[in-house]
Amino acid sequence: MKKRTITAIDVGTTKVCTTIAEVNDEGPIRVAGVGITPSKGLHKGLVVNITEARESIRESVKKAEYASGYRVESAFVGVTGRHVTSLNNRGVVAITHNDRLVRPPDLRRVLTSAQSLKVANDRKLLHVIPRSYSVDGQPGVKNPVGMHGFRLDVETHVITAAVTSVQNLVKCIRGVGVDIDDLVLEPLASSEAVLTEDEKNVGIVLADIGGGTTDIAVFKDGSIWHTAILPVAGYQLTRDVAIGLGLPFDVAEEMKKRYGSVMPIYESQSEMATAISEDGHGISYQDLCDIIRARVEEIIRLIVLELPRSDYEALVPAGLVLTGGSSNLSGIDALGRDILQLPVRVGTPTNVAGITDAIRDPAYATSVGLLLWGTSHKSTPTWRLPKFSGALRHLVFRIKNLFH
Ligand SMILES: Nc1ncnc2c1ncn2[C@@H]1O[C@H](COP(=O)(O)OP(=O)(O)OP(=O)(O)O)[C@@H](O)[C@H]1O
Ligand SMILES: [Mg+2]
């Protein structure tokens, strides 16, 4: 049985998580090592200080290497931020072989034709994902290879990102001697970890509410339909608590995680009950929950506004799956159901084996999703360093490390 390893690096606004996994031809992927460090130098999913971000990544990679005994040469890396935009585009080609049979090279041609849209100089293509094909006008074909026809159309979901933001991230990763297998939009990765095929077929929204961003992906008829990134998440919740209750940020973060809930508190506690932080700050449960509830309600409404159609009940009858660290807030699924009148659940990554204790939490949906993405997609040459320069950089990095 052939065994290989793949690595995922999720550079989040609050934590950097490196995960190294063993992949066999059969069976689930086995997590061999995880390295989690608080992230520095990031704001709303973007690198704002290269040196600080690079050091957080270095620390996280080192921890994962130590835990697994493997060395990281390259990794699948998550991308997020307000600079990411998406649109649906079409491509069309003629099938000119005598037998009019659609072959794999025709698929490549039609995807290339879908990429020929004008991408501004300051933007870079991240993904061109085929959603469905049609052969001679017959729509809804998932795999046209082997069919006969004169004309092949493809509908694609195209995702682009700002060149500068991507370059900053790439620079940080390469700066620790790791090459890039691929850059993956974070909500696409998260959805690999927490959505079922059934949900994607029926129509579903995924919202990864992290620290700095809420990452949204909408699936319909088994494929991606829409993606969006909102610049509001757990950080704003903590800031609201800090400002609203006059607490230092760290204490507000502690209070939010320990006692925070979006349920009306009077159902389980007295209205006058007090929550005490480790250093002795006391606040009313009721006030804490009211503040958190108001902001979470706003985030859920913003998610709905991001949907490309207003009749969202018809677009996504399977409802909403919440993931990311902030979906740990107790009662968030019930609040979502109240607002949307659709099924809402919290998605925790489960379909991996090995040392998974640290990552069985919605905050690690992106990390697990990047690993799953890595097993089902090939590493692309887009972000890889040329072979010689890659090897040379690696050597220089190792020598530098000897003196570090
Ligand atoms: N039990 C909890 N209750 C409430 N909030 C929580 C809890 N646990 C974690 N969080 C919040 O989750 C957020 C971190 O989530 P996550 O790790 O998914 O973010 P990230 O990936 O670092 O950031 P991003 O994806 O936005 O760049 C923080 O704001 C943290 O306060
Ligand atoms: Mg995240």
Q: What confidence tens digit (pLDDT) does each residue in 78-133 have? A: 999 889 988 888 999 999 988 999 999 999 899 888 887 777 888 988 898 999 99
- CB of residue 211 inside a 6 A radius of ligand 1: yes
C-beta of residue 241 within 8 angstroms of C-beta of residue 288: yes
User: 324 CB less than 6 Å from ligand 1?
Assistant: yes
Residues 98 and 75 in one domain: no
Question: DSSP class of residue 53?
Answer: H
Residue 220, pLDDT above cutoff 80: yes
Reported as a single tens digit per residue, the pLDDT across 34-91 is: 999 999 999 988 899 999 999 999 999 999 999 999 999 999 999 998 899 888 889 9
The CATH number of residue 20's host domain is 3.30.420.40
- Token match 């958190």: residue? 292
Instruction: Return the SS3 of 155.
Output: strand
Rounded CA-CA distance 297/294 in Å is 5
Q: Is the dihedral of CA 286, 290, 291, 296 positive or negative?
A: positive
155 and 168 housed in the same domain: no
Are the CB atoms for 220 and 203 separated by under 8 Å?
A: yes
Q: Which residues pair with 76 in a beta bridge?
A: 8, 182
**Which atom of ligand 1 is nearest the CA belonging to 323?**
18
161 Cα: distance to centroid of ligand 1 (angstroms): 23
User: 139 and 45 in one domain?
Assistant: no
Mean pLDDT value across residues 154-172 = 92
Pull the structure tokens for residue 392. Answer: 């040379």
3-state class of 271 per DSSP? coil
d(CA 44, CA 212): 4
Average confidence (pLDDT) over 181-201 = 94
**292 and 328 housed in the same domain:** yes
Is the shortest distance between the CB of 288 and ligand 1 below 6 Å? no
Which amino acid is present at 113? S
Q: Based on the fold, state whether residues 288 and 325 are members of the same structural domain.
A: yes
User: With 80 as the cut, is the pLDDT of residue 229 above it?
Assistant: yes
Q: How far is the CA of 94 from the centre of ligand 1 (A)?
A: 49
Q: Which two tokens stand for residue 150?
A: 């004169």
Q: Is residue 207 domain-shared with residue 330, that is, in the same domain?
A: yes
pLDDT at 267 over 60: no
**Is any ligand 1 atom within 6 A of the Cβ of residue 213?**
yes
Task: For residue 147, give its domain range.
Answer: 85-162
Is there an atom of ligand 1 within 6 Å of 12 CB? Answer: yes
User: Does 106 lie in the same domain as 183?
Assistant: no
* Domain total of the chain: 3
Ligand 1 neighbour 15 (Cβ under 6 A): yes
Looking at the fold, whether 335 and 219 belong to one and the same domain comes out as yes
Rounded Cα distance, 111 and 118, in Å = 15
Beta carbons of 39 and 31 less than 8 angstroms apart? no
Q: State how far the Cα of 365 lies from the Cα of 323, in Å rounded to an integer.
A: 7
pLDDT at 273: 73
Are 233 and 306 in contact, with CB atoms under 8 Å apart?
Answer: no
**Is 83's C-beta closer than 6 angstroms to any atom of ligand 1?**
no
The total number of residues shown for the chain amounts to: 404
Mark whether 147 and 191 lie in a shared domain.
no
Ligand having the closest approach to the CA of 362: 1
pTM > 0.85: yes or no? yes
* Cα dihedral across residues 353, 358, 359, 362: positive or negative: positive
Mean pLDDT computed over 12-32 = 91
pLDDT at 388 over 70: no
Cβ contact 20:70 at 8 Å:
yes
Q: Which of 257, 263, 296, 366 to mutate to test the pocket of ligand 1 (most atoms within 8 A of CB)?
A: 257
Domain boundary among 140, 162, 184: 162
Share the mean pLDDT of the chain: 89
Query: Which stretch of 11-25, 276-290, 379-393 has the lowest confidence by average pLDDT?
Result: 379-393
Residue 404 burial (CB count, 10 A): 7
Exposed e or buried b per residue across 377-392, where buried means at least 16 C-beta atoms within 10 angstroms of its C-beta:
eebeeebebeeeeeee
What integer pLDDT is reported at residue 288 of this predicted model? 92
How many whole angstroms from 276 Cα to the centroid of ligand 1?
A: 21
